[in-house]
Structure 1
Amino acid sequence: MTPRIGTAVYRHLIYTLGLMRIVGAVEGAAAVDRAGTGKIHRRGDARAHDTNDHFRLWIQHGASSPETAASAARIQRMHDHYARTYPFSNETYIHGIALFTLLSDEILGIAGIHPFTEQEKAAQVQHWRTIGAHMNVQGLPATWAGMQQGMRAYEESPDWYRLTPEGHRCAEALIERANT
């Protein structure tokens, strides 16, 4: 079934803006780019669909479901495989979890829309903490404010987050995909 246009646009937006932020991270950029040979360059649409399929499954089945645990385990195996060449620190995993916890609110907030109640924010945090636990991420913030603080500290540190040739190549690939 093809999603309605609004759903498709929203998924595309979350994927594109989320991955733009992931490749702003030094470790994230290196792993996604893989010296210009990453899936983002070779099969960008397939990479986007694969990522969105995992996210959709996690939402449909819930973070604690066996289906989500299996999906997260597949992603973790992939990360472990690429980590042999492109290491990922726990800090980078925390950044990714915090980013996807907060991203919808940030995007909609630009338009002055604040869709989440405090209870929904707490549920969003719990959802992504559970995903993080499936992926063996340690030390995840337990609150919305903690996720905001953790993400902000990571992105403000040039040790973790700065322009790199790898990140630039990935961003260009995302922009090109968005324009087609």
Structure 2
Amino acid sequence: MNITLTRSLLVILLPGAMALSPWIVLLLITHPDYIPIYKEYKYELLGIGAGLSVLFGMIFEGISSYVEVRWDDTIGCTYKVEENWHKYLAASYENEPVAYRYISTKVTTMYFEFAMMWVAASSAFGWAWVVCSFKPLHFEAWAWACVIVGLSMSWYFKYMAKSSHELLCIIRLKVNMINNK
């Protein structure tokens, strides 16, 4: 699959849809009178949902870029992040190094991890609210479980994104050193 399409699906559309889903479920649970409207205008509302998914995904990506730059600032001296980033971008080769493809794949992974960090945090509260709307037995415990699991997953994805970020800094440094750039 084309890397641009894969990146768009994994980093923007899928996380945006996952973040939006508990809130749509909540809307339909709390306002069942909207269900006939959904049935009547299904395709139009699916288009709006897809558009909102892209919007949320783009917002997550923007926030993630901001966080990535802050991380660059904190480890910049250790890995010469800015210098190596510019060397990496300016390098031209007759045959592209294999590492460039790996870096590209790892960047997609990192941005997916970033996006899932935001998704887990935002949808934890949405699913907790959905659980409370159904009022199952011990619903408070289920709602807290949603929040705790969601925030734990958010922390895990942040840890993974930070690990991916550091790995990318190391790889760019090594590639530039090996290629004398």
Fold shared by both chains (TM-score > 0.5): no
Higher helix share: 2
Structure number with greater Rg is: 2
TM-score by length of 2: 0.29
TM-score by length of 1: 0.29
Task: Tell me: higher relative CO, structure 1 or 2? Use CA pairs within 8 A at least 6 residues apart.
Answer: 1
